[in-house]
Every structure is written in C-alpha cells, then in structure tokens.
C-alpha cells in the first residue's frame, strides 16, 4: 500500500517540526519510506517512484551509492576493459578534480535534473566552459554505468549541456604555404621525413609516432594507419574504427621516405619515426626538443611579450616562441585537400574522423567557394530558362 502522511515531532529545542512521509513498497515487495519537507515534493517524487517500481528499475535511497562510489565503478570498468592508460588517467582527473569535490558525497537517487543544472552552473563559474563540458559529460557517463548496474533508475545528467558560443571555440590554425616550406627547408635530416609526412598525410602525432615501415607502401605510394602510440609511449590500436585508414602520398614524400628508410634507426617495433634507439618517441620530447626549435630556426615564431614589450635574453636578443602546435600540420593537410576540391566523404576518411559532422564542424569554413558558387548559380539559371 502506498501513502503520503504528515508527520510531526518536537526538536530537542522544543520547536515543532513537520515532514511528509511517503510509505511505499519497491518492486521486490519490501516496504520503504522517504520524507520531504513539502507535500508537493512528496507527491511529485511518488509519481516518479511508482513508475520506476512498475518498470522494475527503482532504487531506494538506502540501497543507492554515492557519486564517488559510482565514479570508482566507472573508472574500474574502463581499466578492466583495457582502455588506454591516458584515457583512464583523464577519467580519474575529471572525477577527482571537477566532480567529486562538488557532489562526490551525493547519493545517486538524490540527484535531480535541477541539482545537476546547479552543478553545471558552479562548474562554469569556476572552470573554463570547455572543462565544464567535459565534467558534465563525464558525470553523464558515470550515471549511465550506474544505471547499467541497476544503481539508479535514470541518468538525470543526460540532457544537461554546457553551451559554448562560436566565439569561444578554438579556431583552426593553419600555417601559410611559406611557413610550411620554411619548416621543410630548415628541418634537420632526422626530422624532415616526419614533418613532411605530417604535412602531406594529416596524420595525428600519435599515429606518426606509432607508424611502422610495414604500414608504408612506397611502391603503391600509400600510408596505412593501423596503430598509434599514446602519451606514455605504449603502442595500441587507433582510438576508433575510423582511425584505420589508407592515405595516398605524393612523389616528393615517397622519395624522402625512401631515402630516410636507409638511415632510420632500427628497433623491435619497426617504427618509421623512432627515437635514436629505435623506440617510441615521447610526444613532449618531440615537441620541446624538435618541433618547437625547428619553428624558431625557420622563423615561424613570435617574440615573447612582457608588459607590452618583447622579452630579451641575456644577450639582449628577443626571446622567441613557436607559432604552432604539431596538430596545425594536420590542419594544413586538410586545407590543401579542400583547395583541391576533395569530396567531403573522402576528406572524412583521410582525416580519420568518426563522422561527417566532425569534419564539417572542423573544416566547414574552409569549404566556401565564392567563384564556384557563382558558376553553380549561373548554370542553374541557364537550366531554368532554357
């Protein structure tokens, strides 16, 4: 039997207290109770609880776990499934730094859409919108896993979003042709093949660091992505099925790779761009010791500013900083393909995107073609009036 009744009692200081008690039975027939300060809240909750009981998915407060416990289950599952160490580390950081300090002690059954919206608002106040969005998505994943285990009836974070305006989203930075040529011209012999491969194939840094000679067919002039190296230098499969792909390469790159293969350090993994001992290059080392100094040597850099003035070194010369991250070479490849009027489906495949939407969101602004639009309109007019 289900009922809502008013309960009154005296507090230790003699003040009269009241609450509305919901008395009900769960799907297992066990008697449960839950109290509310307002009758309206009790009635609203009972309606939802009755539906959950009828579907066999209700979880009583006393049987619920905290957000902290649910987050641990989520992270443990990722580790148990063999997710990459970097991915698990990111999950743990999102939980430890952005979720648990604010709502870690809350029981899952007491989370509501309004309470998650309040959590979102607090994140936006104290974190960047990008980080707030990641934390909300992580909470939603935590609740999805808890729901799968029967620890909560619904995912109240599923529809919560952190909206970022177009102005707040990072812009794609594409090096100019002269900058790309300067990078190639100034690259030392052990770095030039990797830089050229990045520019002409659009491979991610992790894919380049995990690329094997077995994945490069110089006769057919194609490169196949079959594995990657994570930030810890561990070799594994591409992060998604879309990451498996084959990309054609131009004659200049074929010639460069053919020469590089003869002097490339040998190692157990047969890597095309290994460290000096034939092992996996560490990403941070590649950036700090190779790619960033290359940009400064090639003049693809800007002065470091302090209080509106260029910062000077001990010799009175401006201190320079590199202009681009390594990912910009990937954008350069996409930009060059788009200028050659590559079709959208092929661009998606070559870039290794999991969906056309990601390709459009990233490079859609580069696909505008005023002259081409004019020709299409003129052709349409001729067809309509013929």
- Of 335, 351, 378, the residue that ends a domain is 335
CATH of the domain at 239: 1.10.443.10
- Tell me how many domains the chain contains: 3
User: What pTM was computed for the model?
Assistant: 0.71
Q: Are residues 188 and 327 in the same domain?
A: yes
Q: Are residues 114 and 205 in the same domain?
A: no
Q: Are residues 41 and 74 in the same domain?
A: no
Residue 171 within a domain: no
**E strand residue ranges, 84-217:** 216-217
Q: Enter the tokens of residue 78.
A: 């990722």
Residue 312 within a domain: yes
Taking the C-alpha atoms of 54, 59, 60 and 64 in order, what is their torsion angle to the nearest 10 degrees? 180
Q: Tell me what percent of the chain is helix, strand and coil, each rounded to the nearest 5.
A: 50, 15, 35
Q: Are residues 331 and 199 in the same domain?
A: yes
Q: Are residues 139 and 182 in the same domain?
A: no
Residue 207 within a domain: yes
Residue 267 within a domain: yes
CATH of the domain at 82: 1.10.150
Per-residue model confidence (pLDDT) at position 5:
84
Q: Are residues 189 and 235 in the same domain?
A: yes
CA-based R_g, the chain, Å? 29
Q: Are residues 214 and 243 in the same domain?
A: yes
Q: Are residues 32 and 80 in the same domain?
A: no
The closest of 221, 178, 190 to 286, measured between CA atoms, is 190
Q: Are residues 255 and 296 in the same domain?
A: yes
Per-residue model confidence (pLDDT) at position 266:
95
Per-residue model confidence (pLDDT) at position 172:
82
Residue 367 within a domain: no
pLDDT tens digits, 214-271: 999 999 999 999 999 988 888 999 988 999 999 999 999 999 999 999 999 999 999 9
Residue 156 within a domain: no
Residue 347 within a domain: no
Per-residue model confidence (pLDDT) at position 251:
96
Per-residue model confidence (pLDDT) at position 67:
95
Residue numbers of the domain that contains 112: 67-148
Distance of alpha carbon 195 from alpha carbon 35, whole angstroms: 65
Q: Are residues 331 and 185 in the same domain?
A: yes
Q: Are residues 103 and 195 in the same domain?
A: no
Q: Are residues 222 and 95 in the same domain?
A: no
Per-residue model confidence (pLDDT) at position 72:
95
Listed as ranges, residues in the chain with pLDDT below 70 are 1, 57, 62-63, 165-170, 368-376, 386
pLDDT tens digits, 5-43: 888 888 888 888 888 888 888 777 788 878 788 888 878
């Amino acid at each position: 039997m289900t009922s809502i009744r008013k309960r009154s009692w005296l507090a230790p200081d003699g003040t009269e207290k009241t609450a509305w008690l919901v008395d009900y039975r769960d799907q297992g027939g066990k008697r449960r109770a839950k109290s509310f300060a307002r009758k309206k809240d009790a009635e609203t909750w009972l309606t939802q609880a009755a539906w959950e009981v009828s579907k066999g998915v209700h979880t009583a407060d006393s049987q619920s776990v905290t957000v902290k416990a649910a987050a641990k289950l989520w992270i443990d599952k990722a580790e148990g499934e063999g997710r990459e160490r970097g991915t698990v580390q990111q999950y743990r950081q999102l939980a430890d730094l952005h979720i648990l300090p604010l709502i870690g002690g809350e029981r899952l059954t007491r989370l509501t859409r309004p309470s998650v919206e309040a959590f979102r608002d607090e994140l936006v106040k104290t974190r960047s919108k990008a980080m707030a969005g990641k934390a909300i998505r992580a909470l939603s994943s935590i609740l999805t896993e808890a729901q799968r285990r029967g620890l909560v009836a619904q995912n109240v974070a599923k529809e919560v979003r952190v909206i970022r305006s177009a102005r707040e989203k990072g812009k794609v930075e594409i090096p100019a042709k002269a900058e790309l040529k300067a990078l190639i011209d100034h690259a030392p012999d052990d770095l030039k093949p990797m830089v050229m491969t990045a520019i002409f194939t659009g491979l991610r840094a992790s894919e380049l660091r995990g690329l094997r000679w077995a994945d490069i067919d110089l006769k057919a002039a194609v490169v196949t992505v079959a594995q990657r190296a994570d930030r810890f230098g561990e070799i594994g499969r591409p992060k998604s099925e879309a990451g498996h792909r084959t990309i054609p390469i131009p004659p200049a790159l074929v010639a460069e790779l053919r020469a590089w293969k003869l002097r490339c350090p040998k190692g157990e993994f047969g890597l095309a761009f290994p460290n000096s001992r034939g092992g996996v290059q560490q990403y941070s080392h590649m950036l700090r010791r190779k790619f960033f100094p290359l940009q400064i040597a090639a003049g693809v850099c800007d002065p470091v500013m302090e209080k509106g003035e260029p910062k000077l070194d001990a010799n009175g010369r401006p201190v320079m900083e590199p202009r681009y991250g390594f990912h910009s070479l990937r954008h350069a490849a996409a930009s060059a393909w788009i200028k050659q009027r590559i079709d959208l489906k092929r661009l998606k495949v070559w870039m290794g995107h999991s969906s056309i939407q990601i390709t459009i969101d990233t490079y859609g602004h580069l696909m505008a073609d005023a002259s081409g639009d004019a020709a299409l309109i003129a052709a349409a007019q001729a067809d309509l009036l013929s």
